[in-house]
Structure 1
Amino acid sequence: MATVLVVDDDQFDRSLIVRNLMRVLPDADIVEVSDSGKAVQVFQDKKPKLAVLDIRMPAPDGFDVLSEIRANPEYDGCSVIMLSGSTSANDVQRSRNLGANDYEVKPDSLGGYRELAEKLASNWL
């Protein structure tokens, strides 16, 4: 059973992501956390196969967590998807430079969250 980590400080966004991932990955161990500090602990304890990280969170932000993940070879098997409301080319480029596998803009509809979950499942697990 694959572990999927969802990190987002916005409870509503996090619940939409988690609920849709549970629908398309019913056998996955989906762990949700609201802050970056807890995310690092989940990496140490569960070594997720997929992590979905919000960028804009209280320090440390998603970029900091991504840097920490990519600095540890123990987590090389984890696909990291950065998720943000930002469409900034700088955020996309910074994510890629730090080792993110992909960058997704947060959907603006329930159907969009459903499509995002299906894409994450098919592309990264």
Structure 2
Amino acid sequence: MSGKTRKTIIYSALEVANICGVVNQTAINWIRNGYLTAFNTPGGQYRVYLDDLIDFMKERNMRIPDDLLNAAGRKVLSASFLIVDDDKGLNTVLAKFLQREFKDATVYQAFDGFEAGTLLANKKPSFIILDLSLPGVDGFKLCKKIRESADYGNPFIFVVTALNEDGLEAKVKELGANEFSRKPLNLTNMAAMCRKYFGTD
């Protein structure tokens, strides 16, 4: 079956906006500016084919819901985590917890900046748990680099730290972190956050 014959699922601009987490006007602007392929109904409304929406989201490193991929007959990629923390005990606890909570997920572990860089480049994990205090690397700079580099696939960044400095949360979010927590971590809350991100809650 060709890709063209699968183009039977069609979305309105509002539905596209809801899927991408933006307002309706933003989706309309994407269409009008030629970023997102669409066509007009006889009534002048925009409509977008499923395959065109998926291609648009993929090109911009946007997370694509599994139901969209399934509907288009495309491979669903399992969630993947990267834990970056030099505390081997905590790193292992987090890895085992994530593997238990997300059985289909792949969990990678890095204990220093070099390992983290290698795994980020080669594996492109979708969710990163990043400790700010790492040997041989500035955690703040690493956070900024992950967010700014298209090579890493625009992952979710969850920064964790034992530091007690004021203003840390605001600082790391300015650098691109999605969420922030001080240690010790609440694993139940972390799991809920992961499920919300991956759309499995």
Q: TM-score, normalised by structure 2?
A: 0.55
Select which of 70, 76, 79 maps to 2:156.
79
Residues 24, 121 of structure 1: 8 Å contact kept: no
Contact 1:6 1:33 in 2 (8 A): yes
Q: 2:84 maps to what in 1?
A: 7
How far does the alpha carbon of each residue in 1:62-95 deviate from its partner, in whole angstroms, 9 at most, with x for none? 2121121122123353000101123433221221
- The offset of 1:102, in angstroms, is 0.5
1:98 aligns with 2:175: yes
Residue correspondence of structure 1 range 19-38 to structure 2 within 5 A: 19-38=96-115
Structure 1 partner of 2:194: 121
Task: Answer yes or no: is the 8 Å Cα contact 2:147–2:154 preserved in 1.
Answer: no
- Identical counterparts, % of pairs: 25
Q: What are the superposed Cα offsets for residues 19-44 of structure 1, whole Å, 9 maximum, x if unpaired? A: 11111111111000100111111111
Which whole-Å CA distance do the structure 2 matches of 1:38 and 1:66 have between them? 15
- Determine whether 1:63 maps to 2:143: no
Which of these two proteins has the greater Rg computed from alpha carbons?
2
Which residue identity does 1:93 align to in structure 2? Answer: A
Greater relative contact order (Cα < 8 A, sep 6+): 1
Q: Residue 59 and residue 123 in structure 1: after superposition, are their counterparts in 2 closer, same or farther (change >3 A)? A: farther
Q: CA deviation at 1:52?
A: 0.4
Distance 2:138 2:99 in 1: 25
Deviation at 1:53?
0.3
Unaligned 5+ runs, structure 2:
1-77
Partner residue in 2 for 1:49: 126
Deviating beyond 6 angstroms after TM superposition, the runs of 4 or more aligned structure 1 residues are none
2:9 matched residue in structure 1: none
Aligned pair count reads 121
